[in-house]
Amino acid sequence: MNERILVIGASGRVGSKVVKYLDENNEGIIIRLATSRPETAETWSNEGREAVVLDLNNSETFPKALENVNRVFLLTGYTSDMLHQSKRLVDAAVDAGVDHIVHLGVFTSRRDMIPHFNWHDLVETYIESSGINWTHIHPNVIADTTLIIDPPITETKSFTVNWGNASQGWVFAEDIGAVSAKVLKEGPDKHGGANYWLSTEVLTSLEVADILSEVSGQNIEVNMGSPETLEAYISQIESPSVRAYMESAVITMKLGLENKIWNQNIIHDDVKTVVGRPGITMKEWAKDYFK
């Protein structure tokens, strides 16, 4: 029997990569794409894809989306609503008879002084207590969120960070997608109860700029913002739940600048563990991006 896999956030930066790798050698699986936008689901359906509307803020959309689903890729947005969204989704998954949840979390130490890291810890604890098989994916800083910008680096010749020149562990969405898809395809017999940590290399902002400059043959600069720069923007956010998440992001940046997040500077490449190849390095990504 084919295993039906539900991909939440299938149109997003990470979710779309999960779908890309699920589509490769997809014999034995049925891929169901989920989105909160009806027009996107309609477009997918017209393309011959199996698509559903799933709004994490509306649990009434959950039963239909989860019907006949065996495995779920659970991804939430940048909002404190992730707590009740995830709980309700997990409850609905139990009711639907889902066998495996693959959750996209953060590079947690389980003892972080960062609210949204703690929220992910709580979500994962709830998943584990549900009785459903689980696998947790823990990416460090997702490089795409900093480097794939509009207008692109090829035009601006610069990118912006709000943590100064603090060193970070980096991973690309391409690798997160490859790992998640492999886990979803192979299922809980192989990956149940596993935590996979994705931090390919540790680089400062200036080191990233140097690599991009070297590969591109151009002078790529880094705009050194600060947590305070982001705070000014956050004060204008109307949604309390989104503002709470972004305030937590500021805490992360401040702690990083003070070298108080030890796990931020760890290399742990479980891309190789799961996929069988090393994670993509900054230089490798740059060679593809600037070609």
pLDDT at residue 116, as a whole number? 97
Model pLDDT for residues 6-16, shown as the tens digit of each residue: 999 999 999 99
DSSP for 141-166, please give it: EETHHHHS-SS-HHHHSEEEESSTT-
Model pLDDT for residues 163-202, shown as the tens digit of each residue: 999 999 999 999 999 999 999 999 999 999 999 999 999 9
pLDDT at residue 281, as a whole number? 98
Token output for 115? 């609210």
Signed CA dihedral, 117, 118, 122, 125: sign only: positive
pLDDT at residue 136, as a whole number? 98
Euclidean distance between CA atoms 162 and 8, whole angstroms: 29
Euclidean distance between CA atoms 257 and 165, whole angstroms: 8
Query: Under a CB-based contact definition with an 8 Å cutoff, are residues 126 and 87 in contact?
Result: yes
Euclidean distance between CA atoms 230 and 251, whole angstroms: 11
3-state secondary structure (DSSP) of residue 138: strand
pLDDT at residue 152, as a whole number? 97
Within its chain, how far is the Cα of 276 from the centroid? 20
Q: Residue 179, exposed/middle/buried by CB under 10 A (0-12, 13-18, 19+)? A: buried
Token output for 182? 């492999």
pLDDT at residue 180, as a whole number? 98
- Residue written as token pair 């959950």: 62
pLDDT at residue 48, as a whole number? 97
pLDDT at residue 226, as a whole number? 87
Question: Given a cut of 80, is residue 1 above it in pLDDT?
Answer: no
Percent of the chain with pLDDT strictly greater than 90: 93
Question: Given a cut of 80, is residue 41 above it in pLDDT?
Answer: yes
Query: Under a CB-based contact definition with an 8 Å cutoff, are residues 51 and 91 in contact?
Result: no
Query: Under a CB-based contact definition with an 8 Å cutoff, are residues 139 and 104 in contact?
Result: yes
Q: What's the residue count for the chain?
A: 291
Query: Average pLDDT, whole number, for the chain?
Result: 96
Residue 273, phi then psi, degrees to nearest 5:
-60, -45
Model pLDDT for residues 225-283, shown as the tens digit of each residue: 889 888 988 989 999 999 999 999 999 999 998 888 888 899 999 999 999 999 999 99
Where is average pLDDT lowest: 83-97, 197-211, 248-262? 248-262
Signed CA dihedral, 269, 270, 273, 274: sign only: negative
pLDDT at residue 259, as a whole number? 85
Question: Given a cut of 90, is residue 213 above it in pLDDT?
Answer: yes
pLDDT at residue 42, as a whole number? 98
pLDDT at residue 149, as a whole number? 95
Q: How confident is the model at residue 120 (pLDDT cuts 50, 70, 90)?
A: very high
pLDDT at residue 225, as a whole number? 86
pTM confidence score: 0.96
All domains of the chain, ordered by start, with CATH?
3-140+172-197+266-277 (3.40.50.720)
Euclidean distance between CA atoms 105 and 86, whole angstroms: 12
Percent of the chain with pLDDT strictly greater than 70: 100
Question: Given a cut of 80, is residue 135 above it in pLDDT?
Answer: yes
